[in-house]
Amino acid sequence: MKIKNQLQGLPPYQPGKSLEEVKRQYGLTNVIKLASNENPYGCSPAVKKAITAELDRLALYPDGYARILREKVAQHIGVKETQLIFGNGSDEVVQIICRAFLSAGTNTVMAAPTFPQYRHNAVIEGADIREIPLVEGRHDLPKMLEAIDEQTRIVWVCNPNNPTGTYVNETELSEFLRKVPKHVLVVLDEAYYEYATADDYPQTVPLLFEYDNLMILRTFSKAYGLAGLRVGYGIASEAIIQQIEPAREPFNTSSVAQVAAAVALSDQAFIKQCVAKNKQGLAAFYRFCEENGLRYYPSEANFILIDFGIEGNQVFQYLLERGIIVRSGNALGFPTSVRITVGTEEQNEQVFAALTQLLKEKQFV
């Protein structure tokens, strides 16, 4: 047997540690997970009731076109139903886009470090990857433009960027879009859209009417608190959606997930609350960093990347042993940082207490 070249030596995705795994390994009962940017408040309480009703219909295939969810999302964001594509998480939409646009001999442009699934899927399709280093944690859009050539098929803008939490503003984005050649698809990954509150964070849906080479990705995994059910979607011109639809599996989003997402979307009061509490949590993290002289990137998302000046793995391990799971920057391209999801007030206090202890111990080394 011989697997295709691109897969040889390609490591599978390394997920953050699970709660159960850590409880067992360290004999802890109280473990918190602040590693994958999930919503610490769960999802809208209306979701549970709605999916219970759905349980009587599990023998049936889901609606492959996700009609009800599609109507709701289209209405909510103000686009046509035919401008949407749903995926088993926006991860799957990334995969569909790569399948549809990339092959050997083409290339794709992205920031580095950024969300790893752009690169991963592009590698599998055999495309060349052009990674443009972040500058002070932010996308270097002029350099990304320079990297585009005739063979470029996709350019990725993760906004806010994972793992830095930084964002591309309205002016920077418009200038960039004006200059990107029309043969290149621009993907704006807005997984943390709901959390972004900066005045100049771009509202991109109206841009779809100006640019037909644009695609926006959003998800129900982060602010909507439905990461376990896997629903994300892409928004683009009707023409793009029509062209990539054949690369989508027929029943890629489950019936339960579709119902949950539709109900969650209707509860905007829940989202508003979560976003407000996230802002307070971020402010507490900023204060903590400033009091302790730690460098961080101001974040428009629900996580923060903090530089400790020592191996990220060391900070990760220290917190892990105290029942706090975070993401080490070693795996994210920031070897002296860790990425921490903003938790509830109580969870954040737990993090600050453990970190204070760590910083004290570090002084003695």
Contact code string over 189-208 relative to ligand PLP, x by CB under 6 A: x-x-----------------
Instruction: Select the span of 14-22, 84-92, 126-134, 310-318 touching ligand PLP (CB under 6 A).
Output: 84-92
Show the tokens assigned to 86: 């749903």
Q: Order of strands, edge to edge, in the sheet holding 303-307?
A: 295-296, 303-307, 337-341, 327-328
- Exactly one of 39, 44, 83, 90 binds ligand PLP (CB under 6 A); that residue is 90
Sign of CA dihedral 124, 129, 134, 140: negative
What residues pair up with 111 in beta bridges, in sequence order? Answer: 132
Q: For ligand PLP, give the closer residue by CB, 194 or 354.
A: 194
- Map the footprint of ligand PLP across residues 230-269, applying CB under 6 A: 232
Q: Least distance (Å) from ligand PLP to the CB of residue 275?
A: 16
Q: Does 115 bind ligand PLP (CB under 6 A)?
A: yes
Q: Does 118 bind ligand PLP (CB under 6 A)?
A: no
Q: Does 219 bind ligand PLP (CB under 6 A)?
A: yes
Q: What angle do CA 270, 271, 277 make, to 5 degrees?
A: 90
Q: For ligand PLP, give the closer residue by CB, 167 or 296.
A: 167
Q: For ligand PLP, give the closer residue by CB, 89 or 329.
A: 89
Q: Least distance (Å) from ligand PLP to the CB of residue 231?
A: 7
Backbone φ and ψ of 222, nearest 5°: -100, -95
Task: Report CA 341 to chain centroid distance, whole Å.
Answer: 12
Residue sitting closest to ligand PLP (CB):
89
Beta strands per DSSP E along 116-190: 128-133, 152-158, 185-189
Q: Among residues 344, 321, 323, which one has the least CA distance to residue 29?
A: 323
Q: Does 225 bind ligand PLP (CB under 6 A)?
A: no
Instruction: Select the span of 72-80, 85-93, 279-287, 337-345 touching ligand PLP (CB under 6 A).
Output: 85-93
- Exactly one of 62, 89, 137, 312 binds ligand PLP (CB under 6 A); that residue is 89
Q: Is 74 exposed, middle or buried (0-12, 13-18, 19+ CB in 10 A)?
A: middle
| Cα–Cα dist 81/355, whole Å | 47
Q: By CB under 6 A, name the binding residues for ligand PLP.
A: 37, 89-91, 115, 158, 162, 189, 191, 219, 221, 227, 232
